[in-house]
A and B are shown apart, each in its own frame.
Chain A
Amino acid sequence: MTEQTSHKGKGPLIYRQSIWTRVTHWVWAICLFFLLLSGLQIFNAHPALYIGQQSGFEFDNAVLEIGAVNTDAGARGQTTIFGRTFDTTGVLGMSGSAERPQFTAFPGAVTIPSYRDLATGRVVHFFFGWVFVLTMFVWFLASFINGHIRRDIVPLGADLKAVPADIAAHARLRFHHGRRYGPLQKLSYFTVFFILFPLIVLTGLTMSPGINAIAPFLLDIFGGRQTARTIHFIVMLALVGFFIIHIIMVLAAGPFNELRSMITGWYRASPGTPASQGDKP
């Protein structure tokens, strides 16, 4: 390919995302959608989180409880976090219309299925759990071989030093579109791939009695089955937070260019970027 010169303020198109990155990205997107919504269905079967090996019914080790209570003003939804109780009527514990109130922790609009059906929630959750984990293996293997992890994911000393400047650039919505990821991008993807993804899989496995027999050390690492369940939930919240920021950043950095790179691999770099930085000529 002849060297593209930047004219009219356009940088060159560079091949930024390999087929492995693109396919795993979209498979994960689908998986996480179904995992979240079926996971909330499963949570609704026992809408409380605890610390330790067991759920205290005759002692209190709950850190979160979502439910409905009867008051003088009728039924209300209530959420208790670390002993502090909040009225969450309409969202958590009780939702739906006044004529047809729905008494589930999370409303049917965010669960699969929309009605109470733990069995189906589990079928959906475990199917996409398998797809998610197998996709992780593919991603780690491919990204290790093609250099994606080394180039874009693992933050090095120089990246860490550049974090303050990158934060300043993000605050001004000034993005540099190059071949490599920026320092904050590296840090966030590193957190997702090397901390959140392994954590959510391992805490999920720690809830399986069969896996407890195979790998009892998981119970010790996470401090018990119920703590693992709580961590699983917290990591879910972190991934939802990541998703929201991810979408905001895509919109801020140019949704068309970002989507194109995640579909075709080709990315419009900033003016002045040497086209030779692309993987493909």
Chain B
Amino acid sequence: MSGLRLNRRKFLGMSAVAGSGLILSGCDQFDFLGQRDNQVRAVLEQANVLTYQVQRKLIGEQTLAREYSASEIRQGQRPNGSTNPSTAEYSALRAADFANYKLTIKGMVEQELQFSLAELRNMPARSQITRHDCVEGWSCIAKWTGTALGPILDMARVKPEARFCVYHCYDNIQTSLAGDILYYESSDLIDAYHPQTILAYGLNDQVLPVPNGAPIRVRIERALGYKQPKYVHTIELVDDLSPFGQGKGGYWPDNGYDWYGGI
């Protein structure tokens, strides 16, 4: 067993050579971290679970996201992601100016409910001027008007075993060989019942435009932009996210983003 004997000096020299090789050959040796099913990546992703748990411990359930003054609205709300859904269902709704739109609350509720757009607009409204933070890094301040989600969930009487809201959307965010991939998102019930979580139908004192999610978009103000699903038609209460999409709780989480989205 005398093939390879390392003394400290040799070890240091070899480490230096190995280290500089790592730097010189660029960074593609870490590209394996991009493989969604990689074991090392799975370990690194646990940091997001830790972030969620720590933030939930630190953040009060009712603690509000910062609201800004009207003078901070200096530009239109920049639309991102899908801005013009092309599914037949949505196109038909849009052609009739959403007169036939229905929002469905279903799943683990005592009473399945449906609301027309007029019914939602007739409920007590909440307006909030908040900052929309995109995962890409930009921010935009806008005024959102809508009806709080919490009281609507109460009307449907959420069953105690429900843990998440799944927000189903009309938009085909992606088209694959198997057909349209529809956007969906989910949140825990703390975010769903948060006072600033609204079903928004108004933006900057106007009717919510199509690029921003008409007729209904969910606002979860303590999370990043991809947690604010547009074109929502159904809110489903569930105790498990695995049956939906690829099982990570949302279109973007299925594509590698953190599910919680509070960071």
Contact = CB atoms under 8 A, between A and B. Distances in A.
Interface of A: 37, 42-43, 45-46, 48, 53-59, 108-115, 117-120, 122-124, 126-127, 129-130, 207-214, 216, 219, 225-226, 229, 256, 259-260, 263-264
Contacts of B137: 42-43, 45-46, 55, 229
Nearest to B32: A113
Given A117-B256, A214-B55, A216-B66, A46 B136 contact: yes
B12 interface: yes
Contact of A59 (B34, B64, B74): B74
Contacts of B75: 54, 56-59
B146 to A, nearest CB: 18
A53 B68 CA distance: 10
A168 B55 CA distance: 49
A54 B140 contact: yes
A216 B134 CA distance: 18
User: Chain A interface secondary structure, helix, strand, loop or mixed?
Assistant: helix
Contact of B30 (A58, A112, A130): A112
Contacts of B262: 208-211
Nearest to B45: A123
Interface string B55-83: 10011000111101000101110100000
Contacts of A55: 137-140
Contacts of B48: 123, 126
B47 A126 contact: yes
Contacts of B6: none
B255 to A, nearest CB: 6
Most chain-B CB neighbours within 10 Å: which of A37, A43, A122, A123?
A123
Nearest to A205: B263
Contacts of A56: 74-75
B81 to A, nearest CB: 13
B59 A210 contact: yes
B127 to A, nearest CB: 18
A260 B15 CA distance: 13
A66 B155 CA distance: 50
Given A55-B140, A113-B33, A118-B136, A209 B224 contact: yes
B112 interface: no
Given A123-B256, A225-B133, A54 B47 contact: no
A57 B256 CA distance: 27
A251 to B, nearest CB: 11
Contacts of A45: 135-137
A111 B27 contact: yes
A54 B141 contact: yes
B236 to A, nearest CB: 24
Given A54-B141, A57-B78, A126-B47, A212 B66 contact: yes
A131 B9 CA distance: 29
Interface in B109-168: 131, 133-141
Contacts of B89: none
Given A118-B136, A124-B44, A58 B74 contact: yes
14 contacts: A43-B137, A58-B75, A123-B45, A123-B258, A130-B47, A208-B55, A209-B133, A209-B221, A209-B224, A209-B262, A210-B262, A212-B222, A219-B66, A260-B8
A126 B263 contact: yes
A210 B222 contact: yes
A117 B30 CA distance: 12
B55 A46 contact: no
Contact of B47 (A108, A115, A127, A219): A127
B59 A213 contact: yes
A208 B27 CA distance: 27
B223 interface: yes
A214 B175 CA distance: 38
A183 B163 CA distance: 57
Given A118-B135, A209-B262, A123 B66 contact: no
